[in-house]
Amino acid sequence: MRFSYALPEFLVERDLERCIRCKVCVRQCAFEAHCYDEETDTVSVDSSKCVGCLRCVTMCPTSALIVRQNPTSFKENASWTGRAIKDIFKQAETGGVLLTGMGNDRPYPIYWDHILLNASQVTNPSIDPLREPMELKTYLGSKPDRLDIKKENGKLTLKTRLAPQLELRMPVMFSALSYGAISLNASKALASAAKEFGTYCNTGEGGLHRDLFQYADRTIVQCASGRFGVYRDYLQAGAAIEIKIGQGAKPGIGGHLPGEKVSEEVSKTRMIPVGTDALSPAPHHDIYSIEDLRQLIYALKEATRYEKPVSVKIAAVHNAAAIASGMVRAGADIIALDGLRGSTGAAPTRIRNNVGIPIELAIASVDRRLREEGIRQRASLVAAGGFRNSADVVKAIALGADAVYIGTSALVAMGCHVCQICYTGKCNWGIATQDPYLEKRLNPEIAKERLLNLLRAWEHEIKEMLGGMGINAIESLRGNRLHLRGVGLSDTDLDILGILPAGR
Amino acid sequence: MAYDSWEKHISGCGLSAYMDESGKRSTGDDIIQSIALLHDRSNGLGGGFAAYGIYPEFADKYALQLFYDNNTVQSACEELIHRNFDIVESGPIPTRKVFGIGPSPVIWRYFVSPKESALDMSDLSEEDFVVQHVMEINRTVKGAFVFSSGKNMGAFKAVGFPEDVGDFYRLDEYKAYMWVAHGRFPTNTPGWWGGAHPFTILDWAIVHNGEISSYGINKRYVEMYGYHCTMMTDTEVMAYLFDLLLRKHDLPVEAACAVLAPPFWELINHMPEAEKALYTTIRSVYGSAMANGPFAIVLGSRDMMLALNDRVKLRPLVAARKGDVIYVSSEESGIREICPNPESVWMPKTGEPVIARLKGEPS
């Protein structure tokens, strides 16, 4: 390897007394940080190759390994941090755009951690979900302002025909994770877990592999600017269609799948040559305006006989509220908002770290705008980008989201350690890779069970929090900002979030 | 305050009501006696009544009943009323001095009809016109408050125990075919007469025992349709929900009740297909209008009395019938106090409305 000024990010330490030279670490590390020398019967480490995925540490049978931040540091400097210096070194050495994976890791405010939930005391009984019904069922899709119900022969008769809806067991879905960015086993785990649980997964722009058609009734199929894998059967198979305009990790640019990950199967599914970079155009080249979006929405509705809701996904950007209003008026049944901390398989570091707005503020302003315009009923609002736990979900629903998408949380459930090198295709956990040797490390059955466990755990926690507030149906929490209070937020933040400060 | 003022007043309560379906009118003595028995359910910080059929001589006029903080506000507000309504008759609402009712605001009553020119210009239906102006006064005229605006009906409320409030307003001198009463147990002390129940808009009057934990979204939902919650209570939002569902959306009463207190999904899943589709659609479309948390309410309107409980019956509600009269109360004793031997007494199930309908002419 070429000599680099950039010091290793991690330090890998081996306890030689514990090490039995079984070579598990050597086999497990796709980055070849560990090396076995037969002549001397020793295992050595090249810390500079370590990405901090902790695969070797986890698999080591004698707990002989420790991986930690490299304690060697540059001279302290508030402006020129080690990170800033290292980035320059890398660019000076390669002349390239810095790439990264996963969501924004910079210390922007996480508003979820400044919002607190309410609970009932005395005047209103809290409800125990272990003893009383607690309902999380959610329907996504366009709703009319009113229903036409007549009483005929003493019976209520429904005269209104509702637009197509998605039925969710709870308001959590798996976010757009494309086959290509993640392995087929990971895709299978997500799709089968979504189907078994009663929620939905999203294809991203990876198309639908033939083995995944069996889960298509619980799959939202994406139509992105590259149109990868989009054809008649694909559109007709999905439960809903999502037009991807943008994504939180990289607003303003298109998807990016490095050629290393375009295997034979990915090539067939995406309908592109093996080994070529799959670079989606920044805009859809048939959508340069809101009226163009309307055309694509209705083209897709026509193609699927108005039997499926059409979602439009945008990155949360400064004027998201006005854009969302236009999207609803253009015919979108679902608005998907992907916030600043939304994840990705590959994105330019500078874009990931500097473009977009936090999802909390986007939910609040979009929900408010749609209500001010009296069109909130016409579309459901799905939020994405950095939901770490069930409390984040509850807060998002109370701010005004109908449901949330989780991506990173689902990957972590399967084993992802958020080391942010998905774009290399060498994921040691078998998730963000197309290498058959690495991919088989992820057992789709076990991964499915882990995903189901996560969903069930969150479901239970959401029920507990809901019951505490004296609410027994999720729709009474949706947009109910009265159950939220802010701590440590400015008046402007509170105003945008539409919540009161704690203590008031 | 830059953000919305979402502070609301919390209260527990007792309620009693009855309707004579034949239209036969009775004085306020019985209803006062019934609610007086439930004395311990209120704490003297609010009591009120709604009476239907009390103004037969002005049956086609809107009876606007207002509280004014002082005479200056009154003249300013009257100018506003004059501009939009023809006032057929007006005057103070008769009261008598009662120990237990503190200093009262100026209480005035106007029998009005919308000015034709103003109504034409507004492009609104007559009822929407009235709603809009009531809301405007309550929102913009500080110190004035319209607490009743229906035809041939009136609300009467004050800070005090309900039996004293009934005495104060001389309800023994009115005759109505439907009486609704409420005693309040607020957990704070706004000391404001307008905060007592019932809450009314047009002919709708609502009394309520409970706390709506869905208030935050119910409020935002009705605001989307032009209602303004000015009184910071759950009950007000319930009144607007009924107005929206029954009057504007023209839903049958049973459907409106299914919106407010819908059956659980578990039950819906076992329904026959058509019903399943109906209730699934109601829940998915009107989710934001569901009233969650404990409540027992009585809603009065010109030709109907409706009583409804929350989804898990977290507040008491008993109903009874004798002859043409249907009674509801927080406690059975409240009914037996004025009707010792009812033909039937029952505890309405969760979400199952008790409905009485006016079948005869008020007499």
Report the alpha-carbon distance of residue A287 to residue B47 in Å, rounded: 61
Can you give the pLDDT at residue B239? 86
What residue spans of A203-336 are helical by DSSP H? Answer: 232-237, 264-270, 290-303, 320-329
Instruction: For residue range A131-157, list pLDDT tens digits in order.
Output: 999 999 999 999 999 999 999 999 999
Residue from B356, B327, B358, B354 nearest B340 by CA:
B327
- Would you state the structure tokens that stand for residue A229, as one six-digit string? 């894998």
What residue spans of B48-189 are helical by DSSP H? Answer: 71-84, 116-122, 126-140, 162-168
Chain mean position to CA A336: 11
pLDDT reading at B232 higher than 80 = no
* Beta-carbon contacts of residue A265 (< 8 Å; ≥ 6 apart): A184, A209, A434
Residue from B304, B34, A133, A427 nearest B14 by CA:
B34
Can you give the pLDDT at residue B227? 87
pLDDT reading at B184 higher than 90 = no
CB distance A171 to A136 below 8 Å: yes
What's the mean pLDDT in B128-139?
92
Contact: B286, A476; criterion CB under 8 Å: no
For chain A, say whether B7 makes contact (Cβ under 8 Å): yes
Average pLDDT, chain A: 96
For chain A, say whether B266 makes contact (Cβ under 8 Å): yes
Length of chain B: 363
For chain A, say whether B255 makes contact (Cβ under 8 Å): yes
Can you give the pLDDT at residue B226? 87
Can you give the pLDDT at residue A422? 95
Which among A137, A149, A162, A497 is the top mutation candidate for probing chain B, defined by the most B β-carbons within 10 Å of its own β-carbon?
A149
Complete domains list, chain A, with CATH: 10-96 (3.30.70.20), 167-282+297-321+334-501 (3.20.20.70)
Report the alpha-carbon distance of residue B126 to residue B120 in Å, rounded: 9
In chain B, what is the greatest distance between 2 CA atoms, to the nearest angstrom?
Answer: 62
pLDDT reading at B229 higher than 90 = no
Contact: B8, A135; criterion CB under 8 Å: no
pLDDT reading at A57 higher than 70 = yes
For chain A, say whether B114 makes contact (Cβ under 8 Å): no
Residue from A135, A172, A227 nearest A402 by CA:
A172
Q: Which of residues 202-261 of A touch B (CB under 8 A)?
A: none
Contact: A151, B252; criterion CB under 8 Å: yes
Neighboring chain B residues of A492 at a CB cutoff of 8 Å:
2
Contact: A135, B286; criterion CB under 8 Å: no
Instruction: For residue range A378-413, list pLDDT tens digits in order.
Output: 999 999 999 999 999 999 999 999 999 999 999 999
Which among A139, A168, A333, A475 is the top mutation candidate for probing chain B, defined by the most B β-carbons within 10 Å of its own β-carbon?
A475
Average pLDDT, chain B: 92
Identify which of B3, B219, B274 has the shortest CB distance to residue A500: B3
Q: What is the DSSP letter of A457?
A: H
Identify which of A137, A162, A471 has the shortest CB distance to residue B292: A471
Distances (CA, A) of A367 to A126, A321, A378, B13: 27, 8, 12, 34
Can you give the pLDDT at residue A38? 94
Using pLDDT thresholds of 50, 70 and 90, give the confidence band for residue A374.
Answer: very high
What's the mean pLDDT in A353-378?
97
pLDDT reading at A1 higher than 80 = no
What's the mean pLDDT in B162-184?
96
Instruction: For residue range B295-326, list pLDDT tens digits in order.
Output: 999 999 999 999 999 999 999 999 999 999 99
CB distance B53 to B25 below 8 Å: yes
Using pLDDT thresholds of 50, 70 and 90, give the confidence band for residue B12.
Answer: low
Report the alpha-carbon distance of residue A375 to residue A372 in Å, rounded: 8
Burial of A52 (0-12, 13-18, 19+ CB in 10 A): middle
CB distance A357 to A316 below 8 Å: yes
Q: Is-catalytic flag, B229?
A: no
Contact: A475, B255; criterion CB under 8 Å: no
Measured between CA atoms, the residue of chain B closest to residue A159 is B278
The one-letter amino acid at B232:
M
Strand order from edge to edge, sheet including B144-148: B85-92, B106-114, B62-68, B144-148
Measured between CA atoms, the residue of chain A closest to residue B314 is A125
Using pLDDT thresholds of 50, 70 and 90, give the confidence band for residue B5.
Answer: very low
In angstroms, the separation between the Cα of residue B34 and the nearest Cα of chain A is 24
Beta bridge partners of A382: A336, A403
Contact: A156, B255; criterion CB under 8 Å: yes
Report the alpha-carbon distance of residue A293 to residue A291 in Å, rounded: 5
Q: Which of residues 223-252 of B touch A (CB under 8 A)?
A: 223-225, 248-249, 251-252
The one-letter amino acid at A119:
A
Contact: B249, A143; criterion CB under 8 Å: no
pLDDT reading at B192 higher than 90 = no
Which among B208, B211, B214, B295 is the top mutation candidate for probing chain A, defined by the most A β-carbons within 10 Å of its own β-carbon?
B214
Q: What is the DSSP letter of A162?
A: P
Complete domains list, chain B, with CATH: 45-202 (3.60.20.10), 203-315 (3.60.20.10)
pLDDT reading at A361 higher than 80 = yes
Half-sphere exposure of B44 (CA within 13 A, CB side): 4
Phi, psi of A488 (to 5 degrees): 65, 30
pLDDT reading at B19 higher than 50 = yes
Residue in the structure block whose two tokens are 């770290």: A353
Chain mean position to CA B200: 5
Contact: B290, A475; criterion CB under 8 Å: yes
Can you give the pLDDT at residue A26? 97
Neighboring chain A residues of B7 at a CB cutoff of 8 Å:
500, 504
Using pLDDT thresholds of 50, 70 and 90, give the confidence band for residue A122.
Answer: confident
Can you give the pLDDT at residue B15? 95
Using pLDDT thresholds of 50, 70 and 90, give the confidence band for residue A3.
Answer: confident
- Would you state the structure tokens that stand for residue A6, as one six-digit string? 């950039």
Which among A117, A121, A123 is the top mutation candidate for probing chain B, defined by the most B β-carbons within 10 Å of its own β-carbon?
A123
Using pLDDT thresholds of 50, 70 and 90, give the confidence band for residue A216.
Answer: very high
Neighboring chain A residues of B287 at a CB cutoff of 8 Å:
473, 475-476, 478
More confident residue, B226 or A478: A478
